[in-house]
Amino acid sequence: MAASVRYDDVEVGTEIGPEHYPIQRLTLVKYCGASGDFNVIHWNERIAKQAGLPNVIAHGMLTMAEAARLVTDWVGDPGAVLEYGVRFAKPVVVPDDDEGVEVVVTGRVAEKTGDKQVVVDLAATTDGIEVLANAQAVVQLS
């Protein structure tokens, strides 16, 4: 599947998003099973608090995946992401209620590098708090 966003149609400064991705406790349980990461801080509130956390937290890789999802949905082809990296700034705390928490992701084309590639800077927040830092993807466009 080829990227659906054309390089010639994108300018530096092009905004992507925002998109809102809900995460509930059930999401964490499903992610535990899918990833094989059953660390108790992702599903047991008592243990998470004993470890010094405010509550159960989302897997960092889940948060990272939601941010990448903004880019893959925008470009239309997950294979178009050539490079991707983040630094985890704060944990995503997931309360035990029916709403959970929302990760809000935005992106901005920071650079056009030639060879029909762009650099996309990403920001991910929950309740206005930055949870990913230095999040950036290099994307191959058509």
Q: Where are the domains of the chain?
A: 7-22+58-140
Name the nearest CA neighbour of 22 among 58, 47, 75: 58
Give the per-residue pLDDT at 2.
62
Interacting residues of 128 by C-beta distance below 8 A, sequence separation 6+: none
Interacting residues of 101 by C-beta distance below 8 A, sequence separation 6+: 22, 23, 24, 58, 92, 93, 94, 95, 126, 127
Give the per-residue pLDDT at 114.
84
Find out whether the peptide bond into 18 is cis, omega within 30 degrees of 0: yes
pLDDT in tens, the chain (142 residues): 567 899 999 999 999 999 999 999 999 999 999 999 999 999 999 999 999 999 999 999 999 999 999 999 999 999 999 999 999 999 999 999 989 999 999 999 999 998 999 999 999 999 999 999 999 999 999 9
Angle at 103 (CA atoms; ends 116, 73), nearest 5 degrees:
30
Question: 7-22+58-140: what fold?
Answer: Thiol Ester Dehydrase; Chain A (3.10.129)
Give the per-residue pLDDT at 4.
87
**Facing residues of 119 across strands?**
111, 138
